[in-house]
Structure 1
Amino acid sequence: MEFLYGTWHWAISGFLIGLMMLVLIYFGKSFGMSSNLRTLCTIAGAGKHSDFFKFDWREQKWNLAVVLGAILGGFVAYHFLSNGTGVELNPKTIEQLVTMNIDAPNGKLVPDAIFGMDILQTPKGFLILLLGGILIGFGTRYAGGCTSGHAISGLSNLQLPSLIAVIGFFIGGLVMAHIILPLIF
C-alpha cells in the first residue's frame, strides 16, 4: 500500500499519457483541455453570442470524458490515494518564496498569498488574477490551443506549431517566475 500513498514516479504518468496518445492517434482524435472548455461553453449556449462557439459539440462529446476524468481523478487522488503529507517543495523554492514575502504552501499545491481567497478582496490581488485569466484566455486562442494540447497531443503528432508554442510556454513561464513575479510581490 505504500506505493499508493507515496509520490508516484514520473515515468508511470509518462507511460500512461503516451499510451493514451497512441489510442487517440489510432482513433484520429486529438487532446486538449481548452477544446473541452469550448465544448462546455457551446453546450451552455455561448454560440448565441459568438461564432467561435457555433459548432456541433456532439462530435466532441467523447472529449468531455477528459473533463470528467480530471475531476474524478483529482477527487480520488486527494481523498483515497494521499497520505496527507501534501506536496514537498524544494527548499530553494521555499527560500525564493520567502524573499518575495510569500508564505510556503505548507503541503498545499499553491501558496495562499497568491491564490488564497483573501487575495480576491484586495484590488491588487483581484487585478492580478483577472489580468492573468485574460492573458491565459487570449494566449490559448492565439496559440491555437493550451499547454496540454500542444505539449501532449501536438508534439506527439510532430507538429511544428506545437513545438514553437511549447517553447513559448516555457520561456513565458521562466520570465514570469524569475522576472515578473518578483516585481509584483
Structure 2
Amino acid sequence: MEHDGGAWSPYLVGALIGVLSMATFYFSNQPIGASTSFARIAGLIGNLFSKGHTESLKFFQETKPQIEWGVMLMVGIILGAFLAAYTGGEITAQWIPPLWEEHFGSSRALRLGVAFIGGTVMAFGARLAGGCTSGHGISGALQLSVGSWIALMCFFAGGVVTAKLMFSI
C-alpha cells in the first residue's frame, strides 16, 4: 500500500475508510467513532483510582467503562497510523515541525502544552457535540445526518480559523 515511496494516497485511504465504515455498519450495526472509546478508557482508569466515584457518574452508568470493539478500533488506528507513517517514510525524530518553530520557537514544553490544551478542548467539544470528527464526519455524514453535516462544516471552519489565528496563513 505504499505510494511511490512516500505518503499514502489520500484518495485510496479515503476509499478504504468508506469501505471500513460500510463494513462496520453491515457486520456490527455500529458507526465508526472514537470519542466514546476515549471516554470508556478514562472510565477504566477512573475505576483503578476511585471505582465508587466513577460508577456514581451518570455518563458511566449509561456508557460502561469496558474494553469493547470501539476501544480495539482505537488501538487499530494507532497501529495503522504507525504502519502508514513507517511504510510511507514519514517517521522522523522531529519534535518541533518547521512551521511551528518559525512562529513559536523551539520549546518542546510549549509545543506539548499547546497540544495537551488543544486535545482537551477537542475532547470537551466531542462530548458536547455528541461525537467526534470520525463519528460525525465519517459515520454521520455517510448516513446523511443533518446534524453531522453541520458539525462537519463547523470542524472545517474551526480548523481554518485556528490556522489563520496561529500561523497567519
| TM-score bucket of the superposed structures, by smaller chain | 0.7 to 0.9
Q: Work out which of the residue numbers 97, 101, 104 in structure 1 matches 2:98.
A: 104
* Percent of matched pairs sharing the same residue: 32
Partner of 1:98: none
For structure 2, list consecutive stretches of 5 or more residues without a partner in the other structure.
48-53
TM superposition shift of 1:76 = 2.3
Higher relative contact order (CA 8 A, sep 6+): 2
Counterpart secondary structure, 1:70: helix
1:69 corresponds to which residue? 76
- The equivalent of 1:181 in structure 2 is 166
SS at match of 1:83: coil
Preserved CA contact (<8 Å) 2:3 2:88: no
Task: Give the unaligned 5+ runs of structure 1.
Answer: 87-101, 106-110
Contact conserved, 1:34 with 1:140, CA < 8 A, in 2?
A: yes
| Correspondence for 2:148 among 162, 165, 180 | 162
Of 80, 89, 103, the residue aligned with 1:83 is: 89
Q: CA RMSD of the aligned region, Å?
A: 3.3
Look up the equivalent residue of 1:56 and give its one-letter code. K
Aligned length: 157
Give the superposition deviation at 1:139: 1.2
Q: 1:43 to 1:118 in 2, by over 3 A?
A: same
Residues of 1 paired with 2:151 and 2:163: CA distance?
18
Aligned residues of 2:3 and 2:9 also touching (Cα < 8 A): no
Deviation at 1:2, TM superposition (A): 6.6
More displaced 10-residue stretch of structure 1: 146-155 or 47-56: 47-56
Does residue 145 in structure 1 map to residue 131 in structure 2? Answer: yes
Q: Counterparts of 1:62 and 1:116 in 2: how far apart (Å)?
A: 41
| TM-score normalised over the length of structure 2 | 0.74
Aligned equivalents of 1:159, 1:62: Cα separation in 2: 23
Query: Partner of 1:40 in structure 2?
Result: 41
> Are 2:64 and 1:56 aligned?
yes
The whole-number CA distance in structure 1 between the counterparts of 2:103 and 2:55 is 35
Contact 1:150 1:162 in 2 (8 A): yes
Paired residue secondary structure (2:144):
coil
Change (3 A) 1:84 1:165: closer
1:115 is displaced (CA, Å) by 9.3
2:14 maps to which residue? Answer: 14
Where 1:141 maps in the other structure, the secondary structure is helix
